[in-house]
A and B are shown apart, each in its own frame.
Chain A
Amino acid sequence: MPVTNSPRTLFDKIWDDHVVERLEDGTCILYIDRHLVHEVTSPQAFEGLRMSGRRVRRPDATVAVVDHNVPTSDRSKPIEEPQSRLQIETLEKNVAEFGVPYFPLRSASQGIVHVVGPEQGISLPGMTIVCGDSHTSTHGALGSLAFGIGTSEVEHVLATQTILQKPAKNMRVSVEGKVGPGVTAKDIMLAIIGRIGTAGGTGHVIEFAGSAIRDLDMAGRMTLCNMSIEAGARAGLVAPDETTFAYVKGRPFAPKGEAFEQACDYWRSLASDEGAYFDTEVTLAAEEIVPSITWGTSPQDVLPITGAVPSPSDVADPARAAQIQRALDYMGLEAGQTIAGTPVDVVFIGSCTNSRLEDLRAAADVLRGRHVAEGVRAMIVPGSGLVKHAAEAEGLDKIFLDAGFEWREAGCSMCLGMNPDRLTPGQRCASTSNRNFEGRQGPGGRTHLCSPAMAAAAAVTGRLCDVRELVKETV
């Protein structure tokens, strides 16, 4: 660990506290506190261990869960798709063989890995957390350094509990002030991505700061950090504070009693020092952020819901113009049209970005006493079995079902269309997920990313629309 008195960032501190060894060229052997494993990116890693006769070094720092492939319909039936079933069975075989703790499909604790980790207190502040999934950045909301890794690295972490990396650059994105009504963490993040672009954070870890971020609850901070990867960043972080500690306290795998208090003291010391150096700084005014929606096929193709779709003729760079045209063609939109009013076929509320209890409450607030528009298929897929139970305890399921939504079992579902929940070619979807790439939700599917409240509003009106207008009606 380097002994230094110069002011350090939150990222620098977590990094320094996990360096096992610095190799000659500056690559570090970085210790990993938590390794989360799911069925899609792990089979080849376990196979690698088996072939080389290696074991899992720290099963007690590893947790496995099934989420990407699982059906979100009735769980009492066997899984129909043979390949999905094979991946799930392979994971079950691997966790049994290597002694890895596992939340099985029919456990109430099963869910999307990035919902389950924080919810169980497996992911904690000040930790290094990895998973073979790019949205591992979600866990950074706790004030941990959390990032996605590839399958070779999954194998490396299983075998050594470390990873080889060089430190990232520091970036701070500050959002100051108070957001207006109807503006959520999702809108803040879409606005940030719209500002810095999908490669804006490359090579950086982003610390989210400022009063608008401090005001967010943990679910909101998770939404924000979740999409750091859509800004190209390696990870996103929010400094742990009293909101964080209150969230962590009492979670099943969090430290208890005295140990919890000691941990809090340590976590408090992690906040970026006054005067710490950031390679890049970006500031946004919260008041200027409006409910946002994507129009194109990259998360940076963001518009305020009040805005109009760009025209290829607006830009000078011919490559960019061609890209805009291609995105418009794919999305079935006209250059220059207003985005509000575009009819939708499907509404998907779920994914590791927006499937927590708070997200479901926000959707319920819009849906209470309303009904899904004719011809729209609308579904809610809670992030975990526990989220589902908690929502049912509050009666949210009743609101959703009365409104004509499907109320499904936990999993990734239509976020990536690996399970049977997917769009058909040409279908347009208002989605609370994180990626609007071509074909992401099913081949030929058209995705508009937005907040749960905006998605609910689209379901009710059958069109992309400004949720503030619906909420106005209610008050």
Chain B
Amino acid sequence: MDKFTELTAIAAPMPTENIDTDQIIPARFLKTIQRTGLGKNAFAAQRYDAEGNENPDFVLNQEPYRHAEILITYDNLGCGSSREHAPWALLDFGIRCVIAPSFADIFFNNCFKNGILPIRLPREICDELMDDARQGSNSRLTVDLERQVIVRPNGETIAFDVDPFRRHMLLEGLDDIGQTMAHDAEITSFEHRPSRAWVPSITIGTSK
């Protein structure tokens, strides 16, 4: 996974609540067996018309937002389906940071696991950043994970919170599995607890 340290990039404004993962990537594009290649269909229903032509009114079809690496929205971003294809699609489009007043839990987690930094900030601050983002090519924000600040185009800084464990993993570009496997002995001893004797094993003899 790519490290996330500091990002200076165009921010796209999407002043909408409840952007669900079906909107971020519709189900018909989930038939892939890869993580990459979903970016062209991110927000497909809003981005393209029935013939597949770009809808010029949609923000990500406009300059400079075609090159956005930061997305700012309103409440409950990423609600609905748990599909990790949603952060994959965002990442493949080029998004590395999403900012909203609140997120759906699974999406929030999925972002971290793919090197996307989700930042929760109060609605008033999201509004200010949304105004920044509306300034077209001047809409560059700097997201500094080391210092935990966002630097606005006018130089003002906004502090944000991030879980220390998640921050560490992003800064170092680490994957969770290797970390957890270091606790193998504890996992094995848990599996042998007598209180777990009732848990049956599953075998399907005739499978296939």
Contacts and interface: CB of A to CB of B under 8 A. Distances in A.
Interface of A: 17, 20-21, 23-25, 27, 29, 31, 33, 40-41, 43-44, 47, 52, 54, 60-63, 68-69, 81, 83-84, 86-87, 90, 92, 95-96, 101-104, 122, 124, 127, 132-134, 148-153, 155-156, 159-162, 164, 198-199, 202-203, 229, 232, 234, 253-255, 259, 262-263, 266, 298, 319, 323, 416-418, 425, 435, 437-440, 443
A152 B27 contact: no
The residue in B15, B23, B26, B163 that gathers the most chain A C-beta atoms within 10 A of its C-beta is B26
Given A41-B82, A323-B17, A160 B180 contact: yes
Interface string B47-86: 0001000000000000000000000001110011111110
A101 B75 CA distance: 40
Contacts of B202: 60-63, 101, 122, 253
Interface in B104-143: 104-106, 109-110, 113-114
A156 B179 CA distance: 10
B13 to A, nearest CB: 13
Interface of B: 15-18, 20, 22-23, 26-28, 30-35, 45, 50, 74-76, 79-85, 87, 102, 104-106, 109-110, 113-114, 163-165, 176-177, 180-181, 183, 186-187, 190-191, 195, 197-204, 207-208
Contact of B104 (A20, A122, A202): A202
A201 B204 CA distance: 37
B26 A17 contact: no
Contacts of B176: 152, 156, 164
A83 B207 contact: no
B201 A160 contact: no
Contacts of A254: 200
A437 B23 CA distance: 8
A81 B202 CA distance: 32
A326 to B, nearest CB: 9
A86 B30 CA distance: 12
B130 to A, nearest CB: 12
9 contacts: A41-B82, A60-B202, A103-B207, A127-B199, A164-B180, A253-B200, A262-B197, A416-B27, A437-B23
A232 B82 contact: no
B31 A150 contact: no
Nearest to A254: B200
A417 B28 contact: yes
B193 to A, nearest CB: 9
The 4 lowest CB-CB distance pairs between A and B, nearest first, are A83-B31, A43-B33, A150-B84, A152-B113
Contact of A33 (B32, B74, B199): B199
Given A29-B183, A134-B80, 12 more contacts: A43-B32, A44-B35, A44-B84, A92-B208, A104-B207, A150-B110, A199-B18, A234-B105, A259-B197, A323-B17, A437-B22, A437-B80
B26 A439 contact: yes
Contact of B76 (A23, A199, A234): A199
B106 A134 contact: yes
> B interface, by DSSP: helix, strand, loop or mixed?
loop
A162 B180 contact: yes
Nearest to A134: B82
Contacts of A232: 76, 79, 104-105
Contacts of B114: 152
Contact of B22 (A81, A87, A149, A439): A439
Contacts, number: 193
Contacts of B23: 437-439
Nearest to A320: B17
Nearest to B164: A25
B27 A440 contact: yes
A160 B181 contact: yes
Given A134-B81, A202-B104, A153 B187 contact: no
Contacts of A198: 18, 76, 79
B208 A155 contact: no
Nearest to A261: B198
Contacts of B187: 20, 29, 31, 160-162
Contacts of B34: 43-44, 47
Contacts of B164: 25
Nearest to B87: A150
A417 B76 contact: no
B201 to A, nearest CB: 4
A29 B30 contact: no
A25 B163 contact: yes
A225 to B, nearest CB: 15
Contacts of B181: 159-160
B208 A102 contact: yes
A102 B205 CA distance: 10
A156 B76 contact: no
A161 to B, nearest CB: 7
B35 A418 contact: no
Nearest to A422: B28
Nearest to A267: B198
Contact of B109 (A60, A150, A162, A263): A150
B190 A31 contact: yes
A86 B22 CA distance: 22
B171 to A, nearest CB: 14
B84 A438 contact: no
A202 B102 contact: yes
Nearest to A57: B187
Contacts of A262: 197-198
Contacts of A255: 198, 200
